[in-house]
Chains A and B, each alone.
Chain A
Amino acid sequence: MTQNNLHVLLFTLQKELFGISVMNVIRVTNIEKLIRIPKAPAFIAGAINFEGNVIPVVDLASKIELGTTTALPGTKVIILEVDHDGDSLEVGIMIDEVLDVAQVEAASLLPPPLDNMGFNTNALTGMHKIEDDFYMILSARKIFEKELASLVQ
């Protein structure tokens, strides 16, 4: 994969179309046993055992102010790996459905619309058009920008 090409995992969340770079994706899994974490920030739905590690599951919809997803057995979770400070943070995000993996040329990436989207667009890095559909490309780093910043301190 060259620098100009980007593979994105396409998925739906609250009827919206999203994409996220596969470079950040470890795996897509189903929620089996989710434990709630009392006293955790509201956007954290709980934690799951992923390959022997305890990984927090984030309600992505709530994180980007798009609504809420109810965590049920079978709910899809994308396990992400987010780099920070040479370390990597593993976190799961709840989504609705996985659609596809698409190859996107960086040059063809459109600037994301910032207004009137109905959610917090700070986490977007761009927009991709496939046929008549527009996919909002999320940056894993930007989703957790605030949390990562507080970790550095």
Chain B
Amino acid sequence: MDFQQEYIEEVRQILKDLEKSLMQLDENPDHADEIANVYRYLHTLKGSAGMFGFHQIEKLTHELEYLYSDVRDGIRAHDEQIMDLTLHSVDVLADLIEGQPADDEVEKIIRTVLAMRDTAASPSLTTLASDTGKQLPQAVIIFFTPDSNIFKRGINLNAILDDIRELGHAEIIVHNESVPLEKQLESRELTSWFEVLLVPEQDMEEIRDVFMFLGENEYEILELTSPEQFMTEPYTRRITLSEEQINDRINTLKAWSPQLFEAGVEEIIEEPTAGKAVDLKANAEGQEDEETFTFETKKSKKNKGNISVSTPKLDQLINIVSELVTFRSELQHLMSDNRNTKVVEAMEKLDFLTLRLRDSAFNIRLVPLSILQVKLQRLIRSVSKELNKDVEFITEGLDTELDRSIINALEAPLMHIIRNAMDHGIEQPEERMKRNKPEKGLLKLYSYNSGDHVFIQVQDDGNGIDFDKIREKGIAKGLLNAQQNYSEKELINVMMSPGFSTASAVTTVSGRGVGMDIVKKEVNALRGDVEISSEKGLGTIITLRLPLTLTILDTLVVRVADQKYLIPVSEVEYCYEEQHANLFSKKSRHIRYEKQLVPFFSLREYFEREEHPEKETVIVVNKNDTRVAVVVDGIAGQYQTVYKPLNELLQPVDCFSGASILGDGSTALILNALKLKN
């Protein structure tokens, strides 16, 4: 990966973090930490963009940074306008970093920012001191360039310099001092000029009065409001400063005026009032927060560092680790007769390390569902604006981990489902009021593990699915028979068939995504299912059931004849031992469990093994509220395993949902107990 590629990756990550912070701000606009975060992200983006030739990014972030420094300093509120603008900027920045030209958009945003900043009362932008009234400027730079004939004019230079010192805290920097200043004064031949850093205790008028005997081109008074001024006109006309020199100057000024460039601007604007006092207090607090924040980021940076790795590399690692686990068990077998305690100890250590290595390697591929959260929040935000429907978005269990590839593939379907729920499900606020519902719609996204599946549910409290409408439409489209009665389930199936859309008109919101048929198709492609349940007037729940693929699975290891099989622990409801004779004395194959008859299947019988143990073990499996009992020889233990999909050649064997490598390197099949019934 070359540097530029690395930089692009970094920017992508920063943009993601930035987006996340913005979403936090959307919920809680006064969050000082997040404002500081946004500012820092923008600053980081700006810093590196120029180096890699992304000048548009540099320009854009530069302007936004100004805006956020104002927000951070309490000069302006983080309002909707800023939020929209920044979110839009994030998109534009994302385009830019991918190499898509977006000059127009950049210009547009910059113009908006400039307009916004103009409306903010900051007269400081006009640098030459004009009528700023009686208020004190925060910092002033004076260029004092007396003509060499100053002495002939009878002007006492020393007196002027003394007067300057009396204006407040001042440092006079002498330039062009090829001859020491004292000598120049003595010989009355002046070659030097003076740069004055001043934190005045007098107002502008007083400052100007010092120079009242001098010509207009002999001095220039510059109000200093931002460090950038050291690098721009009119400063540069006089002198070009190195970064170090600039920092020296800033430090000097800050020593006298710690609030410089940060919180001072409103002091110029506002009369000292009670309101101001509050503002200052808020500022002080904000700064405190910022300090703890930087400390925190230092910490979290250490924890959160990410690198991206290509999937084949990862797969290779995982396979090698699996092999190592196999080899370890082989070694253990070879060493089993060894009585040397040191060897035994070393083996135990190797054992422990290999298993830990395996666990960490397997964990790498898994990512929490929450990585989609920001994207979904943004979608909800923009859709709710578009439709004028306010929505409360609640999430739960988004730390559920899934294979990265599944999560990536889920993004589009989930977005569509949410869009649908907001467009078709949740009613307009007025309508909701009429129905005694809270004005704000409720959208819930939750996820959990169950058995060998991960469930993701999207629930809304909207109008529910209008089954009559689906029926009508299905008939109109020739998908349904007008004479027939259809169950809700059948109607839902029709709804998810290709080309069906329930929206009575194609709105911009639903018109641009995929239809429910595509959602179904995409989820099916992940070997998952979509289930919809809806209550008219109350809302809809859409459930995505997804296989774990690489998800770590807790399994019960059971013995049948000379082989081991796995049953997901989450499916196991109850286990007990029973005499073979008792179980098989009758022809009917049912056990009594919780006052119900549960069919049982003997795996030995099912796998066509003749002999059987005297004492059998019965395992009651409950999956999706269907109970089945499985009769096995015994339980060999519990094992956390990594699900491997069955090889294509084995997929017709549907009584197994997958396979797994056990800790000793041997292979075991994962039982799909419900399929035993068929």
Contact = CB atoms under 8 A, between A and B. Distances in A.
A54 interface: yes
Interface stretch (A4-12, A17-25, A42-50, A69-77): A42-50
Output the residue of A49, A56, A144 with the most chain B CB within 10 A: A49
Nearest to A90: B647
B304 to A, nearest CB: 29
A33 B669 CA distance: 13
Given A37-B650, A56-B650, A58-B649, A47 B607 contact: no
B648 interface: yes
B606 A38 contact: yes
B648 A151 contact: yes
A33 B319 contact: no
Interface string A29-40: 000010111111
A31 to B, nearest CB: 12
Contacts of B326: 49
Contacts of A40: 650, 652-653
Nearest to A54: B659
Interface string A66-103: 00000000000000000000000111000000000000
Contacts of A33: 665-667
A91 B668 contact: no
Nearest to B564: A35
Contacts of B318: 52
Contacts of A144: 649
Contact of A55 (B322, B647, B652, B656): B647
Given A35-B669, A37-B653, A54 B646 contact: yes
Given A52-B319, A52-B321, A53-B644, A35 B666 contact: yes
A44 B650 contact: yes
Contacts of A39: 606-607, 653, 655
Given A35-B669, A39-B653, A51 B659 contact: no
A118 interface: no
A47 B666 contact: no
A48 B667 CA distance: 6
A52 B322 contact: yes
Contacts of B323: 51-52
A66 B424 CA distance: 63
Interface string B589-608: 00000000000000000111
A49 B653 contact: no
Contact of B647 (A41, A56, A150): A56
A150 B650 CA distance: 12
Interface string A134-151: 000000000010010011
A35 B326 CA distance: 15
B661 interface: yes
A58 B649 CA distance: 10
Contacts of A36: 563
A141 B491 CA distance: 43
Nearest to B358: A52
Interface in B615-663: 644, 646-653, 655-656, 659-661
Contact of A49 (B607, B656, B661): B661
Nearest to B661: A49
A139 to B, nearest CB: 17
Contacts of A48: 667
Nearest to B642: A52
Nearest to B604: A38
Nearest to B608: A38
B644 A54 contact: yes
A51 B653 contact: no
Interface in B549-570: 563
A151 B669 CA distance: 21
B650 A49 contact: no
A49 B642 CA distance: 13
Contact of A91 (B644, B647, B667): B647
Contacts of B322: 49, 51-53
Contacts of A89: 647-649
B647 A54 contact: yes
Given A35-B563, A52-B318, A47 B667 contact: yes
A31 B326 CA distance: 13
Contacts of B648: 89, 147, 151
Interface in A111-153: 144, 147, 150-151
A40 B669 CA distance: 12
A44 B669 CA distance: 15
A39 B565 CA distance: 14
A147 B653 CA distance: 13
A40 B659 CA distance: 14
- Indicate the member of A36, A37, A147 with the most B CB atoms within 10 Å: A37
Contacts of A41: 652
Contacts of A49: 322, 326, 661, 665-667
B674 to A, nearest CB: 15
Nearest to A52: B322
Nearest to B651: A151
Contacts of B659: 47, 54
Contacts of B649: 44, 56, 58, 89, 91, 144, 147
Contact of B661 (A52, A90, A91, A150): A52
A62 to B, nearest CB: 14
Nearest to B607: A38
A99 to B, nearest CB: 26
A55 B647 CA distance: 7
Nearest to A89: B648
Interface in B29-70: none
B636 to A, nearest CB: 14
B253 to A, nearest CB: 64
Nearest to A151: B648
Nearest to B668: A35
B131 to A, nearest CB: 75
Nearest to A43: B649
Contacts of A151: 648, 651
A143 to B, nearest CB: 11
Nearest to A40: B653
A91 B646 CA distance: 12
B394 to A, nearest CB: 39
Contacts of B667: 33, 35, 47-49, 54
B639 to A, nearest CB: 14
Contacts of A35: 563, 666-669
Contact of A37 (B656, B660, B661): B656
A144 to B, nearest CB: 7
A47 B668 CA distance: 9
A53 B323 CA distance: 10
Given A47-B667, A91-B649, A147-B649, A54 B661 contact: yes
B319 A47 contact: no
Contacts of B669: 35, 37, 47
Given A53-B319, A56-B649, 6 more contacts: A35-B669, A51-B322, A53-B644, A89-B649, A91-B649, A150-B652
16 contacts: A33-B665, A35-B669, A37-B669, A38-B655, A39-B655, A44-B650, A47-B647, A52-B318, A52-B321, A52-B661, A53-B644, A54-B661, A89-B648, A89-B649, A147-B649, A151-B651
Nearest 7 Cβ contacts at the A-B interface: A52-B322, A38-B607, A54-B659, A52-B319, A51-B319, A33-B666, A49-B667
